[in-house]
Structure 1
Amino acid sequence: MAEAGSLIRRLVASVTGATLDMTRSKDARRADRLARVLRTLISEKGEATGAALARRSLTMYAHLGAEGRRRFFEILARDFSPDRQTVLEAAQAWHRDPSPANHAALQRFVEPPRQEVFRRMNMAPGGTAALVGLRNALLDELKANPHLAVVDQDLTHLLGSWFNRGFLELRRIDWRTPAVTLEKLIAYEAVHQIHGFPDLKRRLENDRRCFGFFHPALADEPLIFVEVAFVDELPAAVGPILAPESTVGDPRRAKCAVFYSITSCQSGLRGISFGNFLIKQVAADLHAELPNLKIFATLSPIPGFRKWLQRRGVKDAALRSVVDSGTLPPEELRAPLESLASHYLAREWEGTQALDPVARFHLGNGARLERVNWLADVTPKGLAQSFGLMVNYVYDLGDVERNHEDYVKRHRVVSSSTVDRAASEAGKLLT
């Protein structure tokens, strides 16, 4: 009788499960099947079987639509987390007896099973690229579903290890670089648009340099790249640098190397820092190649400036009109806008970081805030972001570590006296 009752319960459960499965969309059912494959994958000890399951899991993930990906992330967060009771028992055992064996057991039980899921998926050909894409999709879900942050934390932890500086290769990109990579530069450039191959060719001439970080698992995909121009003095405008018809100079006579564009290429690696290593290594390599270079600086956008002013508000009516419209400002507004920009860059903070994202990057790397430049970028994008203003950050190779310490530990922006004076005038302009 008991056996008959057990059989009936199993049949009911099976029918109920099948019914529930049929109510889900086809995409959601694919996500459920993928989760089952991954449970088998992390329990599989055979190398050949594990590799086959890893390849299968990547194929199944690639065929998920938006709904399926969302459901898959939900399953990872819910079903592939550590077991709380097991972790508690392991922690209590280690507390009673902090032996190496108990410590190892605690570490094993604390680690979420989804980390092993990602490690196993990474074993398949193309696994690293697929996981970078997976994180990009996950980041799109986080705003609406903040509880998925636990999945992102685990994946970021692993990607941070797989993409640490020791695995990265710095390459110079020039006109002899394979076309597949050059095409990606055109597609990825996020600061100053590249208008086709003639424009790109000028940016790779003898008085220019382009360097990128690459990873063995993403052979032709730059992770981040920087464009450099050799000029005679600290530049005040980006137009002459970008002009396709400009004369090619002699890099051996230049005094300044200006980093005029830095682009991160892989959205799925957001938050994993490469730029700090890139800038410092490129500066050191250029200094060794061209001892005539005395100044290493940027000509950088101020992407958050106008939005900040719109939030804060200004007293002057003419200034308020330009802030609202984002149009080309007249010369009489030069002094107030430069003063406000200096204040914004040097004295506006968000927690322990500079408010402007580009300032945050360069100041955190040890650069000095040197000069605000009037009408340095009068493209529609430059006017909309910062009324055409741009800024020079200077990397003095002897001071970068001290400047970094000032910024990180003392929350102090190292800036020139000109910027300091201009920033001190901003208070009377703000509402």
Structure 2
Amino acid sequence: MSVLADLLATVFERRYRGASEPDAQNRSIEDLSRDLLGSSGEVSGMALARHILDRYAGMDDAAKLGFFTFLTNDFGIDPETVRNALDAFEATPDRRTYRTFLAAAEPPRQELARRLNQVPGATAQLVAMRRDLLRLARDNPALSVVDLDIRHLFSSWFNRGFLVLRPINWTSPADILEKIIAYEAVHAIDSWDDLRRRLKPADRRCFGFFHPSMPDEPLIFVEVALTSGTPGAIHELLADNRAAITAEAADTAVFYSISNCQPGLAGISFGNSLIKQVVADLSQELPNLKTFVTLSPIPALSKWLTSEGATLPDDPEERRQITADYLLNAKRPEGGPFDPVARFHLGNGASVHAIHADADLSPNGQAQSGGMMVNYLYDLALISQNHERFATAGQIAASPEVTALSAAQATKD
């Protein structure tokens, strides 16, 4: 079936690439986009979409900015039409008026993206397009309305129901392994030997989410160490001379690195589903695992200390107290924990379990947090409760040890 599907995809791809539009090469991408929205034929629509995607791929930043500006100004909603459609629906709330209102309220650029996505391989190109949009929008905030529309579509296209969880190991295809090296965002993989140490031993696992339209591109992946007990330093897990154990001898699964791979999918959350799915799969595969924790960086600790006019002291216990107070009490102006990794795991239903000094000796770890790291505990019996309390009341679940450390710091302030 796979061979047949690949063959049919190739035939259709050639068909659409072979289709032509009069003077397409001599017309602007804006004109081609208008024509695509007006096209009713499948083959002609595919040909137009391919021309647009190919044209965009060859653009420089100035031309891309011009295209996104066009989408902002010409392919948005018309407020008066929306108001009139809403008035009509309020006066006569039936199927016809509701359909008219929905059509008026949806910007044409959403339908343009849908039609572009009909081309084989277009999903990855649209993800790359949003990467450009996010970058250009930093200096051109008016483009953010286009991003809201694309993000809305991506939230559906990359829904958990479409994602495929795949194990990644030393026998995975080389192009996937190369991408794991390139995309690792927490603890850099500096060689193939380093990658082998993370993937090949019996006490190591790696899992990634993939999308059927991007089968060779991981969206996000997590690296897992199977250990006896909860580790307190990353160099213990990544040492090249460590003694491996059997998977059956482990009682703890440690999620020590989670990396998002596609900048064009920023804001589309996969990590929550990934961790919970991996916990479920590992629990079934290895019933000897009793504890599921992270060994996480604290990337904004140094930034927060600087904003408070403070520094980490030399004494390890005092550093742990300050870090506990930071994780439990430091907030953003708009609310929620100051630390982005804390927001992620606490929002998933984890609790702050343990804090470690001198846990990350790398230059990046020293710069971000003075080497401090934290374990977040995923207790299967409490995940839902923790998530609900955090989401509704901002309540942070923490172990008695961490709570005591924070209280000790509070007495000094």
Tell me the alpha carbon deviations over residues 105-138 of structure 1, each in whole angstroms, 9 at most, x when there is no partner. Answer: 1001110000011111111122111110111111
Cα distance in 2, alignment partners of residues 277 and 265 from structure 1:
16
CA distance in 2, matches of 1:149, 1:429: 45
**1:262 correspondence with 2:258:** yes
Q: Corresponding residue for 1:186?
A: 181
Q: 2:222 aligns with which of 208, 221, 226?
A: 226
Give the letter aligned to residue 200 of structure 1.
Answer: L
Structure 1 unmatched runs, 5+: 1-29, 315-319, 324-328
Cα distance in 2 for partners of 1:311, 1:47 equals: 57
Cα distance in 2, alignment partners of residues 122 and 116 from structure 1: 10
The equivalent of 2:38 in structure 1 is 43
Paired residue secondary structure (2:249): coil
Deviation at 1:245, TM superposition (A): 2.3
Query: Highest Rg: 1 or 2?
Result: 1
Amino acid corresponding to residue 395 of structure 2 in structure 1: R
Q: Partner of 1:55: helix, strand, or coil?
A: helix
Match of 2:192 among 177, 194, 197: 197
Matched position secondary structure for 1:240: helix
Partner of 1:129: 124
For the 8 Å contact 1:258–1:296, the answer to whether it is kept is yes
1:345 corresponds to 2:340: no
- Structure 1 residue 86: Cα displacement: 1.6
2:156 is the alignment partner of 1:173: no
Aligned-partner Cα distance in 1 for 2:251–2:40: 60
| Two-structure CA RMSD over aligned residues (Å) | 1.5
1:425 is paired with a residue of what secondary structure? helix
Shift, 1:425, TM fit? 3.2
For residues 31 and 356 of structure 1, the distance between their equivalents in structure 2, rounded to whole angstroms, comes to 51
1:291 aligned to which of 287, 291, 301: 287
Q: Distance in 1 between matches of 2:363 and 2:408?
A: 28
Which consecutive residues of structure 2, in runs of 5 or more, have no partner in the other structure?
A: 1-24
Matching residue of 1:65: 60
TM-score (norm 2): 0.91
Could you tell me which residue of structure 2 aligns to residue 18 of structure 1? Answer: none
Q: For 2:408, give the aligned amino acid.
A: E
Using the size of structure 1 for normalisation, the TM-score is 0.87
**Residue aligned with 1:210, SS:** strand
Amino acid at match of 2:294: T
Q: Which amino acid aligns with 2:387?
A: H
Is the aligned partner of 1:416 residue 2:399? yes
Q: What amino acid sits opposite 1:368 in the alignment?
A: S
Identity %: 47
Question: Is the partner of 2:84 in helix, strand or coil?
Answer: helix
Q: Deviations over 1:362-393 (max 9, x none)?
A: 00000010111010001111100000010000
Query: Alignment length, in residue pairs?
Result: 387
| CA distance in 1 between partners of 2:405 and 2:67 (Å) | 52
The list of structure 1 runs, each at least 4 consecutive aligned residues, that deviate by more than 6 angstroms after superposition, is none
- Cα displacement (A) at 1:339: 1.4
Give the structure 1 partner of residue 267 of structure 2: 271
Is 2:232 aligned against 1:236? yes
Q: CA deviation at 1:426?
A: 3.1
Q: Secondary structure at the match of 2:189?
A: coil
Q: Distance in 2 between matches of 1:218 and 1:244?
A: 33
1:355 counterpart letter in structure 2: F
Q: Does 1:382 align with 2:365?
A: yes
CA distance in 2, matches of 1:126, 1:56: 13
CA distance in 2, matches of 1:60, 1:104: 34
Q: Residue 364 of structure 1 aligns with which residue?
A: 347
**Superposition pairs of residues 18-29 of structure 1, within 5 angstroms:** none
Separation in 1 of the partners of 2:141 and 2:401?
A: 43
